[in-house]
């Protein structure tokens, strides 16, 4: 589906999602585990587990497990159920942003030799 010009917004590559059954089953199981840990965290908050040092650490660990599990769910979903699309985006060169002509990209030399550059470094307004 790529065009010969590759202008802005052209789809350069499009691969449909695999949509594997194993990934769907894994997402369902991870979601069930997620719900169990969210219930455990909520029950721990309501029961006051966070008032003791060990209970507070336990609730922090449960919260960490919740976010790691959610990260695995989202990574599996993104990898297996979203299509792989590459859209062409061309970057402009920096000299185009500064409105400089192409022949002036490298700039102009300020001094004729090394001694002029030393003078310019010591006294910036030399020969202006």
91 — pLDDT class (breaks 50, 70, 90): low
Judged against a pLDDT cut of 90, whether residue 128 lies above it is answered with no
Structure tokens at 20: 């594997």
Compute the half-sphere exposure of residue 90: CA atoms within 13 Å on the CB side of its CA: 8
- Please state, in angstroms and rounded to a whole number, the distance separating the CA atoms of residues 34 and 39: 9
* Helix (H) / strand (E) containing 84: strand 84-87
Q: Give me the mean pLDDT over the 69-79 stretch.
A: 95
DSSP 51: G
8 — pLDDT class (breaks 50, 70, 90): low
Q: Model pTM greater than 0.75?
A: no
pLDDT in tens, 94-108: 656 666 666 666 666
- Say if residues 89 and 11 touch (Cβ distance below 8 Å): no
């Amino acid at each position: 589906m790529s065009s010969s010009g590759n202008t802005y917004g052209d789809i350069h590559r499009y691969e449909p999602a695999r949509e594997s059954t194993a990934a769907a089953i894994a997402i369902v199981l991870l979601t069930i585990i997620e719900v169990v840990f969210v219930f455990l965290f909520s029950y721990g908050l309501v029961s006051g587990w966070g008032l003791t040092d060990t209970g507070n650490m336990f609730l922090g660990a449960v919260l960490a497990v919740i976010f790691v599990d959610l990260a695995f769910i989202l990574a599996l979903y993104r990898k297996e159920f979203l299509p792989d699309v590459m859209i062409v985006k061309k970057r402009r060169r920096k000299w185009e942003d500064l409105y400089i002509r192409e022949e002036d990209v490298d700039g102009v030399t300020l001094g004729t030799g090394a001694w002029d550059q030393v003078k310019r470094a010591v006294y910036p307004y030399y020969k202006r």
